[in-house]
Amino acid sequence: MTLVTGAEGQLGSDVVLELIRRGKQVLPVDISVLDITDKDAVQNFIYSKKPSYVIHCAAYTTVDAAENNIELCMRTNAEATENIARLCRDINAEMMYISTDYVFDGESDLPYEINATTSPLSVYGLSKLKGEEAVLQYSERHYIVRISWVFGNNGNNFVKTILRLAETKPNIRVVNDQIGSPTYTVDLAVLLCDMISSKKYGIYHATNEGFCSWAEFAEEIIRVAEKNCGIAKIPSEEYPTKAKRPMNSRLSKSSLDKSGFSRLPPWHDAIKRFVECDRKSRRNNNSTTAQRQ
């Protein structure tokens, strides 16, 4: 049985769907069922269910808000992860921890390898790094998967924001000097499910193939969705945020290659499939609404 935390989130929901598609026994939990910051509740739950695998997707991911909510962010991303890692060790379960490009400072000129020096710029990044360290220390059978620029069919994300803004704005200002890779949760879920139970433990980087800036990302969304909206490319200093972002979020996928895992499809292709899925969902919703009326 595979326990999936954060099962109602962007990534968790797609992981659950992929596991079900493969005929696996899944135990999906979210905060409505289990608050991962409640140490005793988590211990009782995991001891009673004794899953063979834990895919830990739950996290505090509101990057800017984390700067003012340090305690909650650390309790969720670091302390709760340590507790789960200890429990996985106790019941001999494999643990998969979803981490982030934000563990790096973004000052390198090259894509980051898995063993590159970590130096987070934000509270969020530090909390996720602390989570990584806990998994490394307490869970021998672990997978740490760093991802970036996540978007999925469930929840809010950059792609949905651009599509929404394009409905009413003739132009959208988007930073053009932060470089990375989008990650489509549908694609990532397939890889994570391939990984879990493979016994190929370690740290991995997993994003869709190819690199772009946030502005280039937005331009492709607008192009694929056929929206009549321009993208104004701006430097980061013209769009200040509470938390500092890494300028270079490029992650090397050599770790996937060495372990024989397939890389994710190109990010352009991922956007195309996402937009098609979004259109279909909107049509279905409109049809349902019309029938009710």
Active site residues: 124
Residue recorded with tokens 């000052």: 107
The residues, any chain, with a CB within 8 Å of residue 144's CB and separated by 6 or more, are 96, 97, 99, 132, 135, 136, 202, 203, 204
Residue recorded with tokens 């563990």: 103
Closest residue by Cα to residue 261 from 197, 170, 178, 165: 197
Q: Tokens at residue 156, please?
A: 């809010």
| Strands 94-100 vs 142-147: parallel, antiparallel or unpaired | parallel
Residue 175 in contact with residue 162, Cβ under 8 Å? no
Across the chain, where does the E strand assignment appear? 2-5, 26-29, 53-56, 94-100, 142-147, 150-151, 171-175, 179-180, 183-184, 202-205, 208-209, 212-213, 230-234, 264-266
- What crossing angle do the helices spanning 267-292 and 185-195 adopt, rounded to 10°? 110
